[in-house]
Amino acid sequence: MKLLIAEDERSLNEVITKKLKQEGFSVDSCLDGEDALSHLLYIDYDLAVLDIMMPGLSGIQVVTKLRGQGKNTPVIFLTAKDTVHDRVTGLNIGANDYIVKPFAFDELIARIMAVMRTVSGNVSNEITLGGLSLNIDSHIITLDGAEITLTGKEYDLLEYLMMNKGHILSKTKIVTHVWGYDYEGSDKIVEVYMNYLRKKIDAGREKKLIHTVRGIGYVMKEEQ
């Protein structure tokens, strides 16, 4: 799961980023609202955690501009302010949740997972498709009841595909989401890792789950 953290207090930003990475998230971070908006307009994040009071643009302004551009990236606001007005304003302009500083890190994780369940339509952290099951909390993957082992990058790729099952994803989107916007290598890396996943998931199966859409990208779906 790819997250953006925008918090202008550098030490808090670094702590949140470090702990989220330790929990297995892919995380980009920035320190001001203008940088946050730039990231969110050009990169497809699964979720953004934004401080409301930031230099350049406030979190409220970032989300207002983001929604105005038709981007529906889920957003959780971080703020030291705890007033009804702040909460209502944040939710009315398109935020998905609101957490008041100081907060327990476990609460932030719980809020992130709750928002993602709501957005994806899943009632649990388990995503399933044709005998394949992926738990985005424990990172355990099972295929027809048997657990399979993936490398870190294989897991990131599979999670992205599973969270977008039924939707065609271009190589560019996959590279940006899984390898990061600053990745400078060839997009052929996607083909390489798709082959790795196919060997572990589709090999020997009559109905494949990973499909190439020629000239466009890839889609994860169950064959009819």
pTM of the model: 0.72
Quickly state the pLDDT bin for 98 (edges 50, 70, 90).
Answer: confident
Please state, in angstroms and rounded to a whole number, the distance separating the CA atoms of residues 160 and 162.
Answer: 6
Please compute, for residue 21, the number of CA atoms within 13 A of its CA located in the half-sphere on the CB side: 11
Residues of the chain with CATH 1.10.10.10: 126-220
Q: C-alpha dihedral over 84, 88, 90, 91, to 10 degrees?
A: 140
pLDDT score of 90 more than 90: no
Contact 151, 141 (CB under 8 A): no
Could you read off the pLDDT of 45-83 as tens digits, one per residue? 999 999 988 999 999 999 999 999 988 899 999 887 666
In CATH, the architecture of 2-120 is 3-Layer(aba) Sandwich (3.40)
Q: Selecting from 3.90.226.10, 1.10.260.40, 1.10.10.10, 2.60.40.180, what CATH number does the domain 126-220 have?
A: 1.10.10.10
Residues of the chain with CATH 3.40.50.2300: 2-120
Neighbours of 13 (CB within 10 A): 18
pLDDT at 204: 85
Please state, in angstroms and rounded to a whole number, the distance separating the CA atoms of residues 140 and 146.
Answer: 10
pLDDT score of 123 more than 60: no
